[in-house]
Amino acid sequence: MAFLKLLLSTIACMAILVSLAYATDPSQLQDFCVATSDPTKAGLDVPANTNNRLGSGVTLVNPMNLAGLNTLGISVARLDFAPYGLISPHTHPRATEVFTVMEGTIYVGFVTSNQANGGNKLFTKVLNKGDVFVFPQGLIHFQLNIGKTPAVAFSGLSSQNPGVVTIPNAVFGSDPLISVDVLSKAFQLDVGLVKYLQSKFSTGS
């Protein structure tokens, strides 16, 4: 009996260790990228252009412009916002994002998926200078400058190629366009409104 208890206890401990091992990040492929002798990138002190319809701009640092990041599984971005500028709802399919406000007041949020009741819960927060927020991998999220002055934030991403899917652009601006019948039924919108939205987001608009 004592042996059986010891055996079950040992198996339970092994199961915990295995689950902990799978919960950690995978190891990087190598110590550093051998393709470069200069693991530096200048220019993140320069604001991105926010003179666009959303009033925001992103400067991404990844292996395409900093070879030293190759194989290390991380990237970083500077996010600039004009007053009331928005970074549209989007997802990063391959990365969790840690968002830090450097200047301004930014309203942020993300939407959960796969809730037990089938719903989608929205988590939001108003962030000020020095505040940090996390957007879990793959979840739809957004950032909005709610201040009257420009805002700046930096994001760390847990992939060298996080990817980005901007929801309005993908849904209403694909090439070729998604069928109006599909979108009108999916979003319960009038056909005319769907066509209007497609005209706003389609290539060249």
Q: pLDDT tens digit string along 1-26?
A: 555 454 445 445 544 444 444 444 56
Structural contact between residues 160 and 62, judged by C-beta atoms closer than 8 angstroms: yes
Q: If 0-12 CB within 10 Å is exposed, 13-18 middle and 19+ buried, where does residue 41 land?
A: middle
pLDDT higher than threshold 70 for residue 140? yes
Please report the pLDDT score of residue 26 as a whole number.
64
Residue 160 C-beta-side C-alpha neighbours within 13 Å: 14
Task: Give dist(CA 110, CA 128) in Å, integer.
Answer: 17
CATH no. for 56-165: 2.60.120.10
The packing angle between helices 180-187 and 191-201, to 10°, is: 110
pTM for the full model? 0.82
Task: Render pLDDT for 37-89 as a digit per residue (tens, 0 to 9).
Answer: 677 888 899 999 999 999 999 999 999 998 888 888 899 999 999 999 999 99
Please report the pLDDT score of residue 61 as a whole number.
95
Would you place residue 118 in the very low, low, confident or very high pLDDT band (cuts 50, 70, 90)? confident
Please report the pLDDT score of residue 53 as a whole number.
94
Structural contact between residues 105 and 152, judged by C-beta atoms closer than 8 angstroms: no
**Ranges in the chain annotated CATH 2.60.120.10:** 56-165
Alpha helices by DSSP H, the chain: 2-23, 167-172, 180-187, 191-201
